[in-house]
Chains A and B, each alone.
Chain A
Amino acid sequence: MKYIDEFQDPELARKLVEDIHATVTRPWALMEVCGGQTHSIIRHGIDQLLPDEVELIHGPGCPVCVTPLEVIDKALEIASRPEVIFCSYGDMLRVPGTGRDLFQVRGEGGDVRVVYSPLDALRIAQQNPGREVVFFGIGFETTAPPNAMTVHQARKLGIRNFSMLVSHVRVPPAIEAIMQSESCRVQGFLAAGHVCSVMGTGEYPALAERFRVPIVVTGFEPLDVLEGVRRTVRQLERGEHTVENAYARVVPPEGNPAAKAMLADIFEVTDRAWRGIGVIPDSGWRLAARHREFDAEHRFSVADIDTREPEACRAGEVLQGLLKPHECEAFGTACTPRTPLGATMVSSEGACAAYYLYRRLETSGTGAKQPAQATAPAAVNAPRTPDGTSTAPASAPLEGSPVV
């Protein structure tokens, strides 16, 4: 268990891993929903510490990745207008739209600004009354309450030159869509801890019961992920399918009532397209009709933009757990972080980006079809340089599979 020494609490990690090995008797496929969990798993080689019987399937939980191409194109169109200051989070800058990205729009003279918080965008609007300030409001249930509060504030303060391009997504309908898919192999879910810190656990018992699938609310630190896996496998081995909370230090069952109330006031549930997946009923939020004045789609008449996604990108299959990133023909060749075909390669939480960052030594040279599990996590746990690359030398010897 060489790599366990790298864990924050190696002794606890060792106990959790041993317990999982002792519990499992047959193959199980679990899906981790959150992109932060995916990165934790790949970065620490958690999947390689697990018994062969336990397969982790990466889910659609990266907000940048699932934002549909047409929404990116709407953002690019709005950001290109001379009267607009377009505000976004940093990880949307290099997500490819049709032919270009926000980074390039800025290079062409567009006023694109990166903000830390949606309230920063509102402040920019206050400081620039002669300009139109548009905030790119994407994300899951964790990101939506801050955006809802910002619209509430804009109304309260009477700020008229502020609007939001909204493309929010909700986790439970995505779980439903995955379970209803004919090719679904998922038998248990590690639910996204920070989504549940807002929404609580109340949406999950009905799903667990309907699909007879255990759902364990899980954090994204390495020990959290191991504990989530341990509890899910234990349920599966016992034939149970309940909702458990393995992240109780951050997730109360009721979530955050004030945030939920604000969400209900500002947004309304809508069908939403997911990049590479298609439309999932009731899986998104849009601004409620009474807040339409803050809706950038209407203010800038981009509601009709409708773009087809490139066929070469198989991100949709990756997001549904049907394909591992390195099994894609374009992985590491036509598609790299420098020339991404899809958002899963460019987002800091994307599954393809995780494999490219931490597993490229394994997948290059041995053929892109080589399963990642066949070799050791060469660059896992290596300290990172400021540009996000691993400091592991390219010639680092590949050692044998970790022994547990």
Chain B
Amino acid sequence: MCLAVPGKVLEIKERDGTRMATVDFGGMAKEVCCEYLPDLQPGEYAIVHVGFALQRLDEESARQTLALFEELGLLEEEFGDPWELAAQEAAK
């Protein structure tokens, strides 16, 4: 939960009066609130935590971090089915 994952902004639109972005995390797209980075633009990278873009990040750092997260299984932990993970944990 405390993990903040870098992603690439694909598109920005408004929902309920709020700036929302579609962000790509290594092939997984999520809707992300970008009210805290009001001038964030498509093509830029940002650190995203619980569905909120919190800081910009350069492309190379973002790519490296994403590759590492994927290798370590952290993307699965962040975006996978939490009930499945909890059930597996309970059955260990």
Mark A residues whose CB is within 8 Å of B: 8, 34-36, 43, 61-64, 89-94, 103, 114, 116-120, 139-140, 142-143, 145-146, 149, 153, 156-157, 194, 197-198, 221, 249-252, 256, 258-259, 262, 336-338, 346, 348-349, 383-384, 386-389
Contacts and interface: CB of A to CB of B under 8 A. Distances in A.
B4 A149 contact: no
Contacts of A117: 32-33, 50-52
B85 interface: yes
A338 B38 CA distance: 43
A119 B51 contact: yes
B58 to A, nearest CB: 6
A129 to B, nearest CB: 15
A249 B47 CA distance: 10
Contact of A386 (B38, B61, B67, B76): B76
A63 to B, nearest CB: 6
Nearest to B69: A221
Contacts of A252: 55
Interface string B54-92: 110110010011011001110011011011011111111
A120 B32 CA distance: 10
B67 to A, nearest CB: 8
Given A256-B54, A384-B72, A90 B86 contact: yes
A218 to B, nearest CB: 14
Counting chain A CB atoms within 10 Å of each CB, the highest count among B2, B52, B92 belongs to B2
B10 interface: no
Nearest to A385: B73
Contacts, number: 139
Nearest to A386: B76
Contacts of B79: 116
A139 B80 CA distance: 20
30 contacts: A43-B72, A63-B2, A90-B83, A90-B86, A92-B1, A94-B86, A117-B33, A140-B2, A142-B2, A146-B49, A146-B52, A149-B36, A194-B47, A221-B65, A249-B57, A249-B58, A250-B47, A250-B55, A256-B37, A256-B54, A258-B38, A262-B36, A338-B90, A348-B1, A349-B1, A384-B73, A386-B73, A387-B88, A387-B92, A388-B77
Counting chain A CB atoms within 10 Å of each CB, the highest count among B37, B54, B77, B91 belongs to B54
Interface string B8-34: 000000001110000000000010110
User: What does DSSP make chain B's interface, helix, strand, loop or mixed?
Assistant: mixed
Nearest to A348: B77
Contacts of B51: 116-120, 146
B2 A250 contact: no
Closest 6 interchain pairs by CB? A117-B51, A90-B82, A387-B88, A146-B52, A114-B82, A384-B73
Contacts of A92: 1
B90 to A, nearest CB: 6
A244 B10 CA distance: 34
A116 B25 CA distance: 14
Nearest to B55: A197
Given A142-B4, A249-B61, A338-B90, A256 B55 contact: yes
B4 A194 contact: yes
B39 to A, nearest CB: 10
A284 to B, nearest CB: 16
Given A94-B89, A117-B33, A197 B50 contact: no
A338 B49 CA distance: 28
Contacts of B17: 156
Given A120-B51, A250-B57, A145 B77 contact: no
A386 B49 CA distance: 22
Given A35-B2, A116-B51, A388 B68 contact: no
Nearest to A91: B1
